[in-house]
Structures are given as structure tokens and as C-alpha cells.
Structure 1
């Protein structure tokens, strides 16, 4: 069993405080709830009495110093700081009202929200910057006279405070809108950059195509022809007839110097180009022969018709 820990507990109004010795957070809830008069089946939460920090696990509970004062809350109760003006006696007037527990919870639920916020501002006005938008709006919506009474301010000063809170809300909204506009602008810029990069890529491709049409001043070949010749597999099949003729005309000795290859490889390339060119020429000749043969009957028929016409005229 863990070591026993002396501590103090109080209720929501701080009007009842007792000392306990417990060994865990769960035992603190049970014994504290019984001592403060809570119903056994009531769900209880534990916070530090001085600043409202929620205590949820034993690890944190056991790290706290001995005689730490805790506040036990149930239902709709929430932690509020001690009112420095009345010394915490303002709760006596609430408890003196003859209401049962349900009626007290109803009254507190309607007023505790803005009153706890007002007490927080009274304790430290700079805490405005820590309030959420909803909390600021709650204080702005409170009737000025009620807020002045809760803070102990003149009504004019309370009105000035509400105006300040509204200004903080407006600035936060402007900040959100500016952030949204900035994000939209950044997205637009990023999209434009992507489009520009895509356009530049297309331009680069066009430039590369133009570069391939340039003629090398040393070799006399087009850049594309040189690239094809340096290819690994059957470059002769990807050259035009004119390019093949140029390779054959250059000869193995010139290509050896241009391509930087050995004599055997260069000779093999020239021979392959010559054979490819010869094969293409043979195909052309074969097609021409077939075309001539297809036209020969019609030519003979025409000659015979002409002879018949001449015979008729002589008769």
C-alpha cells in the first residue's frame, strides 16, 4: 500500500474545509465526499484550491506536497478564485437562501459562467489575453450594471472594459481573416509557380528539339544523327537514306575520329549502314519494276489502237 498523505479538502464555496489522510486520489474523493456531505453515488472531480488545476491521476496527486488543499466539485460546480474584496464571504449570502440542491445548481448555472470570468479579471486584468472568444463574448453580453457590481467598478469603467473586450474580439477576427487571406494568397502563388515550372519544362523540350537539328561544325552531321550513331542497338535502322549515305561517304576513318571508337567497331557500323542503304535501294528498284510491269499492257493496247486508226485513214 502507498504511503499515507496528509491533505485538506474544501467544498465549492470554501465554507467547509477538513483535513484528511489518504493514500490515493480515489480515496480522497470517497472520504472527502463523505466528509463534505456529498451523496455516495455523486461523481466528484478534484482541483487544486488555489488555482483550479485539475487533478486526474495518482501520479500527479502523489507528487504534490503534504497538506495541499484540494477542492471537491460535483454537478455543475466549477472552480473560481477567492474574491479579494469580500474575503470570500460573498458565498454566505448564496448559502443563506433556502433552496434545495437542485435549485442552487440552477441558479449557479445561469450566473457562474460570467461571474467566474469577472472574478478572474478582477484578480488579474491581464488575463484578458488568455480568455477564449466565447468567454470574451460572454462578458460583453453581460448587462453593464451587473458587470460593474461584480467587479466593484463604476459603471463607466465597466462600460470601458466591455468596449475593450469587444476590441479584442474584433482584432482576433481581423487576425483570422488576414490569416485566411494569406493562406489563399500562398496557395495561389504556389499554383502559379507550378504552372510556370510546367511551361518552362515544355520550353526546354522545344529547345532540346531545336538543338538536335543543329549541324556539328566538326563532323558535318546533325546532332540527332550523332546521337543515333552512338546508340547501342542497330543505329542504321533509325537513320534516313540521306544520313546513311553521309555515313558511307565519310568512311570508317572519319567516323573513328568523330565517334572516338576503335577501328573494328567503326568499320562494322559503316558496313551496317552501307548494307541498310543497299537493301533500301533494292526495295525501291523492285517497286519501280513492279510499277513498270503494271503499266506495260496498257501501253501496248494504246499502240495497237493507234495503228488501227492509221489503217482506216489510209483506206
Structure 2
């Protein structure tokens, strides 16, 4: 018995794990495969469970410490690091985080969106804390496999992906709004400098006179100069305007905007249609966020009442 080595074996999902005593690497493959339910005819590769190092000969096998844990891989299986949820508490939730071997193939288990799906399954509100790359990974995940990982029907998984896409769109809009705000601040600072230095302004060329005339015209039509610059000079300007600006444009109508922009009816109508579509989409995003919040509220009426009271105080 002194030439036999106690060790442990598991499959690539780490769901199944067994202890055994074998004298050689070949015996490890045979007995380990039997415990794990492998077919005797299948080609098996042995790797170290903790780092994926391939074990190819008996010399290295016998040099390893007692009770080393090995992972047995079939032809289509791949090694992946053990999943961690919360630093040192990964062991507490590992059983609930592992998919059945026959439910998802090895490529699905190793997919980068899998851990994100499990995190989302634990707490839907974690969407708020996910990066744009994480959200995009979930949106791009195959819908049937995502539904299986979340334990949802495929239609619900599809609805979830559409909601996540709207969250991504909203973050993009917020980024664009910040850029527009910075442009507005720069414009105000420039105008303030011109007012503080009237002598320089009076000696300016025709370009300075045009700026003044533009500000006066903008003020008369109710739009800031920045808004008109965006409308006239940007691609897809409706995505760069605030909701308030979109509402103002839609309210004024085609004829008023024709006069403001100096465009023909066709071009102005296309712009208003794009602004109206964008405004409708943003309202739908607000409804989607409200829907997510309502789905994550506590089921206990007493907790809901307490939360409503706290929100009312705020």
C-alpha cells in the first residue's frame, strides 16, 4: 500500500468530487473516470484543479503532495478557475452557482457572462453596480443559455436583455449630456469674457458681430445658442439634447422650426420626427426603470410600508 497515492478527482464543473487511492496516473484516469461517469472509451486529460497544470507522466504525478485534487477533462471539457462571489465566502454559494453538466455545455460554463447572470439572479438591483462592459456581455449572451442560467423562460430573458440595452443607452445619453453641459459652460465663460472686455469686442471683426446677432436671434426664438448649434451641426442631434429641449422642439412644431433653422419642410419634418421618437424612447426608459424598482421591492407589506414612509420623508 505504500506505493499507492491518496488523491481527489472532480469534473470540469467541480460539481462532482471523489476521493480515491491509486498507484499511477493511468489508474487515476481509469478509476476517476468511473467515479465521474465517463465512458471507458473517452480520452481523458488530467490537470491540477487549482491552476489547470496538465499532468502527463507518473514521475510528476508521484512527486505531488498527498490528497492533491485533480480535474479530469474529456475531449470537449476545458479547465476554468473556481468561481468566486464574495472574496472568501465563495464556498458558501458554490453549490448554488454550478450548473448541471447536462444542462449547459462547457463553452457556456466558461462564458464571461455566466458569473454576471448568477449575480443578477441573486439580486436584480445589482444592475446598477455593473459596468457597461458587464451589461454588454449580458446583452450579447445567447438568449436560451442566459434563460437557463437565470432559471427564466426564454421570453423573460429576452425582455431582460432589452431592459439592459435600455440601461446602456441611458448611460450613453448621460455621458452625452455631460459633454453638452461642458460645452454650455465653455460658451457662457466665453461670453462673460467678451462682456468684461468691451474694447476688445468692439474692435473685433465680422465674426464677433455674427456671434452677437446669433445670441439675439436665439433669445428671441426661445432656444439657447448651444441648442441651435447642436441641431444644425451635429449628426443625430436628438441624442445630444436634453429631454426639456426635445419637448420644446416637438411643441413648437414644423412651421416654427422651419423659421428658426432656415431649413425646408422635408428636412425640418425629419428632425422633428427624430426628436419625437427620441423623447418617446426616453419616457419608455423611465417606465422600465420604475418597473425594475417595483419588481425588487420587498414582498413583506410591513417592509414596503416602512420603505414608502422613508421615501416620503426624503
TM-score bin (small chain): 0.3 to 0.5
Which structure would you say has the larger RCO, counting Cα contacts within 8 Å and 6 or more residues apart? 2
Larger Rg: 1
Superposition TM-score, scaled by structure 2 size = 0.35
